Structure 1
């Protein structure tokens, strides 16, 4: 529950809302117990033809009679002490004196209440009954209004807490490095952002709602019962230990089951995401039935977890109800013996200073019955709290992860003009046993254009991912102008770099805003100019119905692959970076567009440092030097013509052997 306590601490920031909800709960509890206390004057007074003033008068007479009897017993005890002093007699005398003092206090309160009752309360039994009924109705209406207000306040508190936690979780997730984020699947992240967050909201509402209101109602009833006979109430504590153990066992089982259910739900989300992302492949290979079977297995597993939760949850209410019934039966038997026999002792234990009346015992039972309903409601809170606790563990497990990119305490300022870039004996691996880059060293002068070629999986993209510091190398370092990337502020570094990747991502926003992304201050004229340079302006104005205000759809799915890449290139051009990284950026563009963009890149890369991952011969001719990689190492570096003569791997990758044979 430690992580859920952190959630509860967030809710405590809204102090006024918390205090107001607690005051409402307190008012509900007092009115709840007050309704049960009305049974005593009805049973002892109205049912015997007495109004409340007459009932108080009879209490005064009974108390005076008990005081007279106590005086006689006290006198007899003193005589016994005078004849023979004994510890037992002294203890008996002390008890009698205590009873006399208690009865005198009750007598004084009755004598004070009698004139007030005669003046302000009905003088007939029927009038008293009607007054009590009216009081109960008014009390119930007031209690209902307080519950409405309490529910609204608690809902507000839960959703405010959810809003703040979601913001914190999103902020923290955005700060994590790519390596840490890739340890968690997108489906699992979606589960944490949606289902886990909703359960935390419900748990917060239960914590500050029923978890406060229902115990206060129970406490109010316990206080009322204790005022009648705290000794008789103490008998109920005999069943408390097994009740506490049963509830503790159920709470642990519920939390464990809920945590596993959340993991299974994440699997469902992951499968759905994978299915919809790969729907074209699934249909092309007619694997629909296979995917249905997989989904059935995953959903079935989640069903089993949910049924286990339902089983434990179903045990809570009967368990608490059975324990409550055992308590009631025991107290009914003890109380019935005392009233029917007009006794004050039970097995030699003093239960009350004077015999209990039928009305007192009825009110006592009513108070205990008033505890059962809140305890039954409270049992339903356990599932909410345990699911919220399990969800809090999942949320804070990710929030507490530290980014692998250590930020410098005193970052160095980048110069106005970036200097040469050096990869110094760099080694890197995603998994400890799989080395992706092995002792890579490369120096790039400022303003130089470098092309990187190599077979799939040789480490080209990984090497480029080190430059914007998406990852840190395991060994060696990367410097710009002699400054280690680890000594720079990440925003300062990344705002000087433009990246266009093969997996082009556009956001569900307008074309203009997607081009402007990364350059929020750009004007519409600048956006159009960048689109023209990337040869995107023509299709935007002629093909898209709303031009630059056309929505691209989620991940840009309303546009073709080539259109998305041209918009991504326009975005990089608008940013006007000093360092440009093109990772297979022209792979999905037709031949004519490639020729036009080739001209654009030829002009755009002038005066800036550019890295191009590509195998296209036309694009390779733009490079000042070409780096050939294989198995995580640099195997050769040179110009296009030099490598065409000496590097067999380069010739195969650039398809020069095919061109020569043609």
Structure 2
């Protein structure tokens, strides 16, 4: 429950809302118990043809009689003490004196209340009954309004808490490095962000709503019962230990089952995401039946987890109801014995100073019965609290993850003109046993264009991911102008870098805003100029229905691959970065546009440091130097003509042998 307590502390920031909801709960609890107090005047008064003033007169008469009897017993006890002093007699005298003091206080109270009752309360039994009924109706109406206000306040509180928690979760997610983020699948992340968050909201609503209101109603009834006979109430505590044990066992079981069910639900989301992303492959290989079987297996597992939760949830209400019934039956038997036999003791234990009346005992029973309904309601929210607790564990388990990037407390400022970039004996691995980069050293001068070629999996993209600090090297360092990247602010570094990747991602926004992404202050004319340089302006204005205001769709799915890449290139051009990284950025450009894009890149890389991951000979000719990589190492560095002469791997990758043969 520690993580759920963290959610509760977020809610406590909204102090006025919490205070107002608690005040409403206190009012509801008081009125709830007050309604049960009506049993006493009805049973002891109205049912015997008396109004409240007549009842008070009877109490005064009985109290005078009790005091007279106590005076006689006290005098006799003192005579016994004078004749023979004994501890038992002294104890008896102390009890009698205590009863006498209590009776005198009760008599003073009744004598004070009698004139007020005669003046303001009905003098007939029927009038008393009607007054009691009207008071109950009025009390119920006020209690109803308080419940409505309380429910609205608690709903507001829970949704404000959810809003703040989602904001923190989203911000924390964006701050994590790519390596940490990739430890969690998108499906699992979406489950934490949606389903788990909703359960935290429901749990918070239950915690600050019924979890406060219903116990307060129980406490109000317990106080009312204790005022009648705290000794008789104490008998109910006999059943407390087994009930606490049963509830604790159910709580642990429910939380464990909920945590497992949430994990299974994440698997469902992951499979759905994988299916929708790979639907073309599934259909191409006619694997629909296989995917249906996989989905059925995962869904079946989630179904079994859900049924386990339903089983534990079903146990809660009957268990609490049985415990409450056992308590009530025990107290009814004890109280009935005392009233029917006009006893003040039970099993030798003094329960009350004077015999209880039918009305008093009925009100005591009503107070105990008033505890059962709140207890039943609490059992109904038990699963919400446990699910909220399990969901908060999953949410904060992710939020508590630390980024693997070393953040310096005293970052160095980058100069206005960036110096040379150096990779110094860099090694990197995603998994400890799998080295992706092995002792890579490379120096790049300012304004130099470097092309990187190599077979798939040789570490090209990984090497470039170190430059904007998506990852930090396992060993070695990357510096710019002699300043280690670890000593810079990440935001300052990335503001000087533009990236265009093969997996072009556009957002579900307009074409203009996607080009402007990363340069939010750019004007409309600057956006158009960047699109023209990337040879995207023509298809934007001629093909897209709304031109630059056309929505690209989720991940840009309303555009072709080539169109997406041109927009991504326009985005990089508009950013005007000092360092440019092109990772297979022209792989989806059609042949007709390749020459045009080649001319754009030839002009755009002038005056800036550029890195190009490509195997296209035309693009390679733009490079000042070409770096050939294989198995995480640099195997050769040189100009195009030099490598074409001496490096077999370069010739194969650039398809130069094929071109020569042709």
TM-score calculated relative to the size of structure 1: 1.00
Could you tell me which residue of structure 1 aligns to residue 322 of structure 2? 322
User: What is the match of residue 304 of structure 1?
Assistant: 304
Aligned to 1:185: 185
Per-residue CA deviations over 1:312-353 (Å, capped at 9, x if unaligned) read: 111111000000000000000000000001110111111000
Secondary structure of the residue aligned to 1:18 is: helix
SS in 1 for 2:333: helix
**Alpha-carbon separation, structure 1, partners of 2:61 and 2:379:** 45
User: What is the rounded CA distance, in whole Å, between the counterparts of 2:478 and 2:552 in structure 1?
Assistant: 36
- State the match for 1:485 in structure 2: 485
Aligned-partner Cα distance in 2 for 1:123–1:245: 51
Runs of 4+ in 1 over 6 A off after TM superposition: none
Residue 608 of structure 1: aligned partner: 608
Instruction: Provide the secondary structure at the position in 2 that maps to 1:418.
Output: coil
Looking at structure 1, the residues matched to 542 and 113 of structure 2 have their Cα atoms a distance apart, in angstroms, of 92
Q: Deviations over 1:248-294 (max 9, x none)?
A: 11101111111111111110110111100001111111111111111
Deviation at 1:558, TM superposition (A): 0.3
* Alignment partner of 1:548 is 2:559: no
Alpha-carbon offset, residue 611 of structure 1: 0.3
For residues 546 and 477 of structure 1, what CA distance do their matches in structure 2 show?
48
**2:526: which partner in 1?**
526
Where does 1:567-606 land on structure 2 (aligned, <5 Å)? 567-606=567-606
Report SS of the residue matched to 1:612: strand
The answer for unaligned runs of 5 or more in structure 2 is none
**Matches of 1:440 and 1:74 in 2, distance apart?**
103
Between the aligned partners of 2:488 and 2:58, the Cα distance in structure 1 is 89
C-alpha distance in 2 between matches for 1:434 and 1:562: 34
Q: Tell me how large the CA RMSD over aligned residues is.
A: 0.5
In structure 2, the residue corresponding to 1:3 is in which secondary structure?
helix
Deviation, structure 1 residue 380: 1.7
Q: Distance in 2 between matches of 1:230 and 1:488?
A: 69
Alignment of 1:245-284 (within 5 A): 245-284=245-284
Q: Secondary structure at the match of 1:404?
A: coil
2: CA distance, partners of 1:290 / 1:105 = 84
Q: What is the aligned partner in structure 2 of residue 21 from structure 1?
A: 21
Q: Distance in 2 between matches of 1:456 and 1:608?
A: 27
Output the CA distance in 2 between the equivalents of 1:260 and 1:593: 53
Q: Which residue does the alignment assign to 1:54?
A: 54
Deviation string 1:137-195 (CA, Å, 9 cap, x unpaired) is: 00000000000000000000000000001001111111000000000110011001101
The SS at the match of 2:452 is strand
Aligned to 2:371, the other structure's residue is in SS state helix
Q: What is the distance in 1 between the residues matched to 2:241 and 2:64?
A: 41
Q: For residue 113 of structure 1, what is the aligned residue in structure 2?
A: 113
Match of 2:343 in 1: 343
Using structure 2 for the length normalisation, give the TM-score: 1.00
C-alpha separation in 1, matches of 2:231 and 2:174: 60
How big is each residue's C-alpha offset from its partner over 1:213-253, in whole Å with a ceiling of 9 and x where there is no partner?
00000000001111111110000000001111111111011
Q: Tell me how far 1:381 sits from its aligned partner.
A: 2.0
Post-superposition offset of 1:374 = 0.1
3-state SS of 2:603 partner: helix
Cα offsets for 1:343-371 (capped at 9, x unmatched): 10111111000100000000000000000
What residue in structure 2 maps to residue 653 of structure 1? 653
Aligned-pair distance for 1:205?
A: 0.7
May I ask how many residue pairs the two structures share in their alignment? Answer: 662
CA-to-aligned-CA distance 1:396-442 (integer Å, 9 cap, x gap): 11111111111111111111111110000000000000000000000
SS of 1:585's equivalent in the other structure is coil
For residues 109 and 538 of structure 2, the distance between their equivalents in structure 1, rounded to whole angstroms, comes to 95
Q: Secondary structure at the match of 2:214?
A: helix
SS at match of 1:426: strand
Hey, what does 1:538 align to over in structure 2? 538
Within a 5 Å distance, the mapping from 1:426-465 to structure 2 comes to: 426-465=426-465
Q: Does structure 1 residue 223 correspond to structure 2 residue 223?
A: yes
- Report the 3-state secondary structure (helix = DSSP H, G, I; strand = E; otherwise coil) of the residue aligned with 1:424: strand
The 5-angstrom pairing of residues 486-505 of structure 1 reads 486-505=486-505
